[in-house]
Amino acid sequence: MATDKDTLYIDIDDEITGIIDKLRASDGKVVALVLPKRASVFQSIVNMKLLKRSADKAGKNLVLITSEAGLMPLAGAAGVHVAKTLTSKPEIPSGPPIPEETEEAIPEETPIGDEPVDPNKPVGELAGAGGAAAADGVETLELPDEEMTPEEAAAAAPKTPAKKNKKLSVPNFERFRLWLILGGLALILLIIGLIFAASALPKATINVKTDAITVNTNLDLTLSTTTKKLDSTTGTIPAKLAQEQKTYSQQMPTTGQKNNGNKAGGSVTMTAKECAPDLGQPATVPAGTGLTSNGQTYITQQDTTFADSGKGQGSCINYSSTGPTTIIAQSGGSSYNGASTFSVAGRPDVSAQVASAITGGTDNIVHTVNQNDINGAKDKIAANDSTIKQTLNDDLKKDNYFPINATFSAGTPTVTSSAQVGAVADSVTVTEVITYTMFGVPRSDLSKLVDNDINSQIDSSKQAILDDGIDKAVFNVNSLSAAGAQLTMGGTATVGPDLDITKIRQEAAGKKPGEVKSQLSGNPDVTGVDVKLSPFWVSSVPKKTSKITVNIAKPVATKSSTSNGNR
């Protein structure tokens, strides 16, 4: 059953033949085609006229629902009604202007239907008209009288392409959007660059030349770890002793030798010869007496007594031991075997001969530690105190003390060895433990003493201390102990006009170089002002004081101090 109105939604991929089939299959008298954006099939005037022709043949009123401006001239040329929405009034748009030399007369076709279409009525009201009406003067395609399929009509279309009307070109919105995004990014980067160039890059350096002078200082200082408060009259400063212990070790192979083999043993008989005037009984040779043979020593194991042998020569009498005496070699080794005659230590009147063979000595040579091994290891220990000095320096600064590097000292090493002299060992390790120390003082106390010395040499009402010279001062130690030190300090201070660097920064912020020069040159002690700005585009001093550097020129003249610091 036919309806008054039918709405068809066209897909962007639909072909013209498929759209015509949908149009013919519709039951509505008024068919509204809702077009997608950028529907390429409707960009052809031929397709537009084919669609119009098919609607007229089927007795349907065709209305395109679209707001694309690019389709309006094509729809107007084909005589197709267009509405922006389903509730808007349809109308035939104006066709494109056609150059006079290319104008071709296209016969007008009488619209199919009983009544003409009222262009002032909505799409819904057109259903009652009973047919589609064509606007006066609308160009239409000339089609054969017989019924043609859409495929045949497409084949019959002119082969020569019509001239493009540049006014009908559809804008490339994707390309436009890409350029829009790139332009936005470029604008953002430009803004960021301008902000960075205006805030982060600008810098200013103000060089001030003055008639400043140098003042030499010479102080006698006493550092004391027991003093709690500065004594300006004596130059005594409370001090802190920083300590750091370092252990060094060195290993050496042992060079001593010892024979740990079995000791040789045997027995001897002794003879004592007594001559006038001392012809009395020979004294007993006690146990533990050393007997020597070929430079090797044997030890007696019991007391040896003598009896009168009745033999003698002239005024001398020979006495023989009452029995054999057992002896054992002092050390192990086979070299002690086979001894035959011996001398008795401390008894030139006694001699000894072997009674039973001296045997049983064996060799077993081992390494032992001697004193040279220990001394050699100690000499090879390389004590590196460079890192220790820096560590002590950092420790004192961490506790807000000014480190005095001249007081750095290495204590007496404590030496130990892994084995004692004579001990059996293949190597010996010698270890040294050294305690390093350094004194530090509160910088404020030291500055007070230095400032007092400087102020005694200048007119403090007109001059100010620009640099007290403590950081480059030279300290000489006279005496050093665990409780303190006696030392002298020599330095060079810079004295000049009373200029406040912080105030100079604040007053120069945001001003032109000429204003800064004029302002500072008003000080009678200022001999010259130079303002340097960077980068090249900067024309005034930055407003941030952190971007401003103020340099007070170093003095040339020198004034020596005769102060001893004890004021």
Q: According to the 3-state scheme, what is the secondary structure of 233-289?
A: CCCEEECEEEEEEEEEEEEEECCEEEECCCEEEEEEEEEEEEECCCCCCCCCECCCC
Predicted pLDDT at 237: 95
Instruction: Copy the structure tokens of residue 438.
Output: 């350094």
With beta carbons less than 8 A apart as the criterion, state whether 18 and 11 touch: no
User: In angstroms, what CA-CA distances link 261 with 221, 294, 332, 364?
Assistant: 68, 19, 5, 4
Mean pLDDT in consecutive groups of 10 residues from the start of the chain, 567 residues: 76 85 85 84 84 87 85 85 86 68 44 47 48 38 42 50 53 81 90 76 85 87 93 93 90 88 94 78 91 94 83 74 93 92 92 94 90 87 81 92 93 88 89 92 94 87 82 94 93 81 86 85 77 83 87 60 43
Nearest to 359 by CA among 262, 293, 265, 291: 265
CA angle 52, 57, 58 (to 5 degrees): 100
Instruction: Write down the pLDDT at residue 286.
Output: 95
Looking at residue 121, its pLDDT comes to 53
pLDDT number for residue 28 = 83
The predicted pLDDT at position 567 comes to: 39
Q: Is 285 exposed, middle or buried (0-12, 13-18, 19+ CB in 10 A)?
A: buried
Decide: 29 and 127 in contact? Cβ < 8 Å. Answer: yes
204 touches 512 (CB < 8 A): no
Q: Which two tokens stand for residue 384?
A: 């590196």
Beta carbons of 104 and 71 less than 8 angstroms apart:
no
Pairing status of strand 548-552 against strand 203-210: parallel
The amino acid present at 239, given as its one-letter code, is: A
Can you list the domains of the chain with their CATH numbers? 3-168 (no CATH), 201-230+442-567 (no CATH), 240-259+364-440 (3.30.110), 261-362 (2.40.30)
- Distance (Å, whole) CA 116 – CA 75: 18
Q: Give residue for tokens 């004081």.
A: 545
Which DSSP symbol is given to 120? T
Which of 382, 380, 404, 366 lies closest to 484, judged by CA? Answer: 404
Cβ(458)–Cβ(416) below 8 Å? no
